[in-house]
Amino acid sequence: MPPPKKRASRKLLSRQAWITLDGGFAVRQCLVQDISDSGAKITLDEDASQLPGVIRLAFARDARTGRSCQVVWRRGKSAGIKFI
């Protein structure tokens, strides 16, 4: 039996960031609650169920920066993302 996977350690952050959708055209502000090497927990001003499956997360409003992410869970105004 293989050993259980260990989650990457998370660092509390509470930092403002931007989500880019639709190829860089729609920018939404969010708060990155915590972050690890593999992903992050974000909080939006609106219901996270409206997020598409793939987004781009950046700490600057510039659409050319940031990392592509897959949304892996949504609960209320919060979402968990995995860096891809």
Its pTM stands at 0.85
Establish if 6 belongs to a structural domain.
no
* Helix, strand, coil % over all residues of the chain, rounded to 5: 5, 55, 40
Domain of residue 75, CATH code:
2.40.10.220
Establish if 3 belongs to a structural domain.
no
Strand partners, 19: 28, 57
Establish if 17 belongs to a structural domain.
yes
* Domain membership of residue 60 as a residue range: 11-83
Establish if 2 belongs to a structural domain.
no
Write out pLDDT tens, residues 13-23. 999 999 988 77
Q: Into how many domains does the chain fold?
A: 1
Rg from Cα positions in the chain: 13
Average pLDDT score over residue span 33-51: 95
Establish if 4 belongs to a structural domain.
no
